[in-house]
Amino acid sequence: MGHGGNVIQELTADHREVDDLFSQIEALPGADERRRELADRLTMELIRHSVAEEEYLYPTVRRYVDGGDDLADKELADHGEVERMLKELEGCRPGDGRFDTLIVRLKNAVTAHVGDEENRLFPMLADVCSADALEELGEKVRSAKEHAPTRPHPSAPDTPPANKLLAPGTGMVDRLRDMLTGRGKQD
């Protein structure tokens, strides 16, 4: 978390981190408990990333990119689908057939979403925003990820202003739960 650079560099670094987590999960045997730990880390990264995009990237896309409302709506719908899968994955253990099915579905959905952002949305954003604006947006995204929730909350608001008001409090509760349970700790 927190890679630096402008918003496009920051979010692209997140995408590569998520790709790596999927690869690590796939490399382990089906019932290996380390897959659960990696799935928790994957969930934490995806949720923080999504919240930051919802708070800062998509409102910027709506405001400055031609057809930005439709683009942002599509990306938010993708986030909703991913978050519902993450919520379902929370209740699964490695070795459970649902775990494997959800990981495959999740990877397919995330890969499609990432491809759309990197090949379509990011270039459009770069065309309409100054380098300074992209840098400032990168800082806002990094800050949002630090305070964002770490668990899926599919019914939470995903658009301003409600998401900006509720996410920090939800994030604090999630991080406290993570600390108490040891969830997401890396050895």
The reported pLDDT for the residue numbered 1 is 46
Residue type, 12: T
What are the structural domain ranges in the chain? 7-179
Q: Report the C-alpha gap between 163 and 19 in whole angstroms.
A: 26
pLDDT, mean of residues 47-70: 96
pTM of the model: 0.88
Q: Residue 172 above 60 pLDDT?
A: no
Residue count of the chain, please give it: 187
Q: What's the rounded Cα separation, in Å, for the pair 14 and 162?
A: 24
Strand extents, DSSP E, 41-185: none
CATH number of 7-179: 1.20.120
Q: How far is CA 97 from the centre of its chain?
A: 24
Query: For the segment 107-146, what is each residue's pLDDT rounded down to a tens digit?
Result: 999 999 999 999 999 999 999 999 999 999 999 999 999 9
Q: What are phi and psi of 4, to 5 degrees?
A: 95, 170
- In this prediction, residue 153 carries a pLDDT of 73
Whether the pLDDT of residue 56 is over 80: the answer is yes
Average model confidence (pLDDT) across the chain: 88
Q: What six digits make up the tokens of 11?
A: 């979010």
The span from the CA of 27 to the CA of 24, in Å, is 5
